[in-house]
Amino acid sequence: MIRIGIVGSDNSHAEAFSKLCNVPQDLTVADAKVVAIFGVDPERTKEVATLGNVPRIVEKPEEMIGSVDAVLVVFRHGGLHRQYAEPFLRAGVPVFVDKPLAISPDDARALLDLAEAKNTPLTSFSTLRYSRDMLAFVKEAEEVGPVSLSVFSGPADRQSEYGGLPFYGIHTVELAQALNGPGVISVQAIENKKNIVATLMYEDGRVVTLNFLGDAAYVFHMLAFGKKGHVGRALDAGTCYKDGLEIVLSMVRTGKRPLERNELLEPVLILDAIERSLATGTAVRVV
């Protein structure tokens, strides 16, 4: 049985992950229990603990060390992730950082450096990346490939109090990465009435367009154009929390992280490049 600690109660994901492990329902995961939770809002933390049958609320996250086999850092604001993940990485506790890994590239690199120095498993991703529907889309795109151009759309709010564009924009970036992988060299972005369009260029000539929907209906949508045809669909995210948590649990059991360093870092770099491009009105390098 894998004992899980949750760090951060403000996000609905804290409740979703707890229920998957602790509450009998249609979608559950086997051999894992959420045994402790920490949050900065006592009332919200108590609410999640009650809804998710979490037996222990701790006053300090570090109190979990020694009684959990892994932690999920799920604060909404990515700027908080580094400070709350670091103590567990230092202690050798496997860590999943909910999207985004960080807001700043410096924080993302610091987390990756620490995980490597301590040889502690660390991963981070949008659970949409591993949803069954997304994996089916990737397979369909490969059948019409090689894909030379793809388009990914999803909701985002550059003015979000939870870190701006990365809070929700990370979902769309990670969907694009799930199909195309890392290797983006430049980004050019424009904004008009809260809607943002970013063009990502790969060195091998592939082009990816990201549409961040700040003034449109909520949807995640993907299109891929290849030599043999094209495929597209609106994403069904119904199983994403279970699908993503199963990937995390596999990492805990095997010690093997599902994404390599460049795959974890590049989404943060892309979002940073989008902001730099919007500020300068020019194409910028992804660094």
Q: What pLDDT score does 63 carry?
A: 98
Same fold, 2-126+240-257 and 128-238+268-285: no
In CATH, the architecture of 128-238+268-285 is 2-Layer Sandwich (3.30)
Q: What pLDDT score does 243 carry?
A: 97
Q: What is the mean pLDDT of the chain?
A: 97
pLDDT digits 0-9 by tens, 224-261: 999 999 999 999 999 999 999 999 999 999 999 999 99
Q: What pLDDT score does 6 carry?
A: 98
Structure tokens at 184: 């983006």
Going by the DSSP 8-state scheme, the letter that residue 91 receives in this structure is T
Average pLDDT of the segment spanning 28-42: 97
Of 198, 184, 210, the C-alpha closest to 285 is 184
pLDDT digits 0-9 by tens, 268-285: 999 999 999 999 999 999
Average pLDDT of the segment spanning 153-172: 97
Say whether the peptide bond before residue 61 is cis (omega within 30 degrees of 0): no
Average pLDDT of the segment spanning 78-101: 98
Average pLDDT of the segment spanning 192-218: 97
pLDDT digits 0-9 by tens, 113-122: 999 999 999 9
Average pLDDT of the segment spanning 77-94: 98
Q: What pLDDT score does 143 carry?
A: 97
* Segments making up each domain of the chain, as ranges: 2-126+240-257, 128-238+268-285
Q: What pLDDT score does 132 carry?
A: 96
Q: φ, ψ for residue 71 (rounded to 5)?
A: -130, 150
Greatest CA separation for the chain: 57
Average pLDDT of the segment spanning 185-207: 97
Of 275, 277, 279, the C-alpha closest to 105 is 275
Average pLDDT of the segment spanning 87-97: 98
Q: Which CATH number fits domain 2-126+240-257: 3.90.260.10, 3.40.50.300, 3.40.190.10, 3.40.50.720?
A: 3.40.50.720
Q: What pLDDT score does 97 carry?
A: 98
- Please report, rounded to a whole number, the percentage of residues in the chain having pLDDT higher than 70: 100
Average pLDDT of the segment spanning 132-141: 98
Q: What pLDDT score does 167 carry?
A: 97
**Distance between CA atoms of residues 72 and 5, nearest Å:** 6
CA distances from 154 to 20, 174, 191 (A): 25, 11, 15
